[in-house]
């Protein structure tokens, strides 16, 4: 957003407007700093559920935020709406992340660690993530070699929408050794367009649209030659500490293909 924030001391009262970054603060040992969350910040259970809710990621309630009197709010360019963040910024410091790939996610973790003065925990977490990523890539190389199965990663229905190449999800698909056939950010597809792409794989994500088993047959009618797989959307889209669990999850997923 082109702004800067200046804090005289490390923050003591934080509101997180991003589910994955809320989870990250717990992983970094900064849970005692959190005083508020969105209704979508549901991990780690049950501890996070004890925090006051300040609305949704797109609809934070300024009055609730004011009552909690934070000294820092953390958000994300994609998760939050600019108009809401601009309003909040008139009252409180707001730190924003903007993440489209793995390296930006690692940078975000390190910056938050520096901001919260928990660099040692950050170093441990980043090392765990990098080791897990390397183990996945070794497995992928052995499984696929030079072949890159083509995939469409579906995130919405009516209309059908997919995660495109300019997304963090695309980066995770790449680590899985897969080629994303959807370009741009979040393109829409008609039934005919999906059929014409002729993907080997179609992943149906659990979020933001909650694809279920009943949708597998619907997609199969459109793309009869594709393998349709239900996947955990949090693993593919939650940048931050979730990546530590995501890479082993990807390995397990690929073993079934």
| Sign of the alpha-carbon dihedral angle for 185, 186, 192, 195 | positive
Same domain as 233, residue 141 = yes
CA dist., res. 241 & res. 27, Å (int): 7
Q: What is the CA radius of gyration of the chain?
A: 19
Provide the residue range defining the domain that includes 237.
123-255
pLDDT value at residue 232: 98
Residue 9 has a pLDDT of: 86
The structure's pTM equals: 0.92
| Domain annotation covers residue 105 | no
pLDDT at 148: 95
Q: Which residues of the chain have pLDDT under 50?
A: none
Nearest to 191 by CA among 153, 220, 216: 220
Local structure of 150: helix, strand or coil: strand
Q: Which of 50, 82, 98 is the last residue of a domain?
A: 98
Do 34 and 150 sit in the same domain of this protein?
no
How wide is the angle at C-alpha 237 spanned by C-alphas 236 and 242, nearest 5°?
Answer: 80
Indicate whether 183 belongs to any domain. yes
Q: Are residues 81 and 140 in the same domain?
A: no
Closest CA to 246 of 228, 232, 230, 227: 232
Burial 204-237 (b: 16+ CB within 10 A, else e): bbbeebebeeebeeebeebbeebbbeebbbbbbb
Query: Per residue in 149-163, pLDDT tens?
Result: 999 999 999 999 999
pLDDT confidence of residue 117: 86
- Do 130 and 230 share a structural domain? yes
| pLDDT (tens digit per residue) in 169-198 | 999 999 999 999 999 999 999 999 999 999
Residue where a domain terminates, one of 98, 114, 148: 98
With beta carbons less than 8 A apart as the criterion, state whether 236 and 153 touch.
yes
At 170 the pLDDT is: 97
141 and 78, same structural domain?
no
Indicate whether 1 belongs to any domain: no
- Within a domain: 65: yes
**How many domains, the chain?**
2
Same-domain status, 127 and 72:
no
Q: Are residues 33 and 151 in the same domain?
A: no
Q: Is 46 domain-assigned?
A: yes
| 147 and 64, same domain (yes or no) | no
- 141 and 242 in a single domain? The answer is yes
d(CA 105, CA 113): 12
Residues 92 and 127 placed together within one structural domain of the fold: no
- Both 27 and 131 in one domain: the answer is no
Bridge partners, 230 (sequence order): 204
Determine, yes or no, domain membership for 50. Answer: yes
Look at residue 72 and tell me if it is in a domain: yes
Q: What is the pLDDT of residue 153?
A: 98
Contact by Cβ (8 Å): 129, 108: no
- Domain assignment of residue 26, yes or no: yes
Q: Are residues 91 and 132 in the same domain?
A: no
| 220: alpha, beta or left? (left if phi > 0; alpha if psi -120 to 50) | alpha
CATH number at residue 245: 3.40.50.1980
């Amino acid at each position: 957003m082109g702004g800067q924030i200046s804090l005289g001391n490390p923050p003591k009262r934080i509101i997180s407007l991003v589910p994955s970054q809320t989870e990250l603060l717990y992983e970094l040992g900064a849970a005692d700093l959190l005083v508020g969350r969105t209704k979508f910040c549901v991990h780690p259970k049950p501890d996070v559920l004890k925090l006051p809710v300040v609305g949704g990621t797109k609809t934070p309630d300024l009055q609730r935020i004011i009552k909690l009197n934070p000294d820092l709010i953390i958000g994300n360019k994609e998760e939050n709406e600019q108009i809401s963040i601009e309003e909040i910024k008139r009252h409180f410091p707001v730190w924003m992340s903007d993440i489209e790939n793995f390296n930006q996610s690692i940078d975000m973790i390190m910056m938050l660690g520096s901001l919260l003065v928990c660099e040692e925990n950050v170093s441990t977490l980043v090392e765990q993530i990098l080791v897990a990523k390397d183990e996945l890539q070794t497995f992928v190389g052995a499984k696929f070699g030079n072949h890159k199965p083509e995939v469409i990663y579906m995130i919405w229905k009516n209309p059908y929408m997919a995660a495109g190449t300019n997304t963090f999800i695309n980066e995770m698909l790449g680590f899985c050794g897969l080629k994303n056939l959807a370009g741009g950010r979040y393109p829409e597809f008609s039934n005919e367009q999906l059929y014409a792409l002729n993907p080997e794989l179609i992943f149906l994500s659990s979020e933001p649209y909650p694809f279920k088993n009943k949708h597998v047959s619907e997609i199969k009618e459109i793309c009869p030659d594709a393998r349709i797989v239900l996947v955990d959307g949090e693993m593919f889209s939650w940048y931050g500490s979730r990546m530590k669990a995501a890479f082993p999850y990807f390995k397990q997923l690929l073993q079934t293909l």
